[in-house]
Structure 1
Amino acid sequence: PAPRGADAVIEVEVTDAGTDVVTISASRAAGTFVRPAGSDVRSGDEVLPAGTVVGPAQVGLLAALGAREVVVRRRPRVLVCSTGSELTDDPVPADGQIRDSNSFMLAAAVEDAGGTAVRRLWVADDVPTFLRTLDAELVGADAGIDLVLTSGGVSAGAYEVVKDALAPRGVEFAKVAMQPGMPQGLGRYGEVPVVCLPGNPVSALVSFEVFVRPALRASFGHPRPYRPTQVATLTEPLTSPAGKRQLRRGTLDREHGTVALCGPAGSGFLGWMARADCLVDVPADATALAAGDPVSVWDLTS
């Protein structure tokens, strides 16, 4: 607190830094460098409305106010499970094997959305094994799983383990009119919600952006569940399949309001996905757009 009778603070830079005796070389008006009580937060103010995301500044404010406990919604716990007998975590895959990328990618997407990921590396294409793995993860003493998120095994092949295991148990599988990410599954396994994404990496991540991220953030009251969107101008032409909403990878020039496509439209081009900072949203009724046409763009950086 300021000493009684003082109405300004002289900064040490305009003194000779003396202690018992000090020489001051400049004057200051009343109120200079004085912070009146209540100038930041006043008694009775609402400082953190419901729905506020608690980050570093909010934690600092709570500590400054002496709030030792605050009511929050906990992060949803999401079990992330890749499927496929071809998957491996071996640094050098054998013939017929590929490294599992989806479980790492989707776990990171869950964490980025504000959830807590519980990652299973992979599960082989065997229905009993898949169900045993699922049961073991869901009934653990500290499981507390709020959502099961799988990738792979949902299409029309001979070994669609997720579809074969969960369709008889009430999970609905359907084809959605979008590209990438046509095959999808949604339902419950017991009491736990289940979302089943396709196995191609770009399809899985784009499907997460469309269906999972907004729902996950809304579930714990996030004030901004959706990615911000804006209209940008295409720098090049594109084509899109009739009757399908296409979400293309892009790079956004925010200064000039333009967007360039980032790689081809295929669902296996994860390298291009890693370079993109937005998704270009092409409506289902548009089969071709020209350079200079306006498009809606999802900003993946916010």
Structure 2
Amino acid sequence: LAYRVGAVADDADTLRATLEDQLIRADILVTSGGVSVGAYDVVKETLTALSEETAPDGSPVSGRVEFRKLAMQPGKPQGFGLIGPDRIPLLALPGNPVSSYVSFELFVRPAIRALMGLPDVQRPTVPARCTDAIASSPQGKRQFLRGSYDAEAGTVTPVGGAGSHLIKAMAHANALIVVPEDTTEVPADADVDVLPLG
């Protein structure tokens, strides 16, 4: 059963109180937004401060949450760790809609399935022929582009651009096209790996 908490103000005390309220019933906590390096990235600031609180014996009082910049697009800023006395898993996702969605598919969904003891924690990738060229993919980052996958034909077509704010394209996608870190462009009709979302 999932519980949704509405938007929380960019205030550290309010965020901390909200998180602590959820620890009573949560098996896992997921936040979205506030994990980068901007002026209002209160999630990162608050959880970093919580991670630095220690008991007299030097052990963390509230658990520890780490923040990383991952070599992926979208979804570069991520946070993960354990908080509260029961060490509840927390995943802090970026706030841009597509970044958040891709991060959920790659990290949150597998974590939930693992906690439930389910098999096939990760969605399997499948090969497909990419009908259109992908002109530019960032060097050194694994890119996850929205795509329309036709399992019967074995093809995938990119949908929309690469921007993490383009949610209309996400609504028309049923798969993610995986472009490896060392690939900067994909010619039309090339084989690619696809992560079906259905």
- TM-score over 0.5 (shorter chain): yes
What stretches of structure 1 of length at least 5 have no aligned partner? 1-115
Cα deviation digits, residues 227-269 of structure 1 (max 9, x gap): 2321001111112000000000000122221110011010011
Q: State the TM-score, normalized to the length of structure 1.
A: 0.59
**Distance across 2 between alignment mates of 1:155 and 1:165:** 12
Q: Is residue 2:20 matched to residue 1:124?
A: no
Matched with 1:207 is: 103
Cα deviation digits, residues 1-35 of structure 1 (max 9, x gap): xxxxxxxxxxxxxxxxxxxxxxxxxxxxxxxxxxx
Structure 2 residue identity aligned to 1:138: L
The percentage of counterpart residues that share the same residue type is 51
**Distance across 2 between alignment mates of 1:217 and 1:138:** 19
Query: Per-residue deviation at 1:147?
Result: 0.8
Alignment of 1:109-148 (within 5 A): 116-139=1-24, 143=25, 145-148=26-29
Query: Per-residue deviation at 1:168?
Result: 2.0
Q: Tell me how large the CA RMSD over aligned residues is.
A: 1.0
Matched with 2:35 is: 154
SS, match of residue 120 in structure 1: coil
Matched with 2:171 is: 274
Larger radius of gyration: 1
SS, match of residue 225 in structure 1: coil
Query: Per-residue deviation at 1:153?
Result: 0.4
Matched with 1:259 is: 156
Query: Per-residue deviation at 1:297?
Result: 0.4
Q: Which has the higher contact order (CA 8 A, sep 6+)?
A: 2
Matched with 1:294 is: 191
Query: Per-residue deviation at 1:196?
Result: 0.2
**Distance across 2 between alignment mates of 1:200 and 1:126:** 19
**Distance across 2 between alignment mates of 1:296 and 1:236:** 14
**Distance across 2 between alignment mates of 1:247 and 1:299:** 12
**Distance across 2 between alignment mates of 1:198 and 1:261:** 23
Deviating above 6 A after TM superposition, structure 1's stretches of 4 or more consecutive aligned residues are none
SS, match of residue 123 in structure 1: coil
Query: Per-residue deviation at 1:169?
Result: 2.2
2:67 to 166, 170, 173: 173
**Distance across 1 between alignment mates of 2:128 and 2:21:** 47
